[in-house]
Amino acid sequence: MTKIKETFEQLKTVGRKGFIPFVSVGDPDLLTSKQIVLELAENGADIIELGVPFSDPMADGPTIQLSSQRALANGVTITDILEMVKDIRKKTDVPVVLFSYLNPLLAAGRDVLERAADAGVHGILVTDLPLGADPVREAWLGEGPLAFVRLVAPTTPAARMADIARHGRGFVYLISRMGVTGARSDLPPDLPATVERLRGATTLPICVGFGISQPDQAAAVARLADGVVVGSAIVRAAGESPDAALQLVRELRAGMDGVMS
Catalytic residues: 49, 60
Cβ–Cβ contacts within 10 Å for residue 187, how many? 19
- Tell me the Ramachandran region of residue 44: left when phi exceeds 0, alpha when psi lies from -120 to 50, beta otherwise: left
Residues 6+ apart with CB under 8 A from 31: none
Residues with Cβ within 8 Å of 175's Cβ and at least 6 positions away in sequence, in order, are 151, 152, 153, 154, 209, 210
How far apart are alpha carbons 180 and 234 in whole angstroms?
A: 16
Alpha carbon distance 96, 150 (integer Å): 15
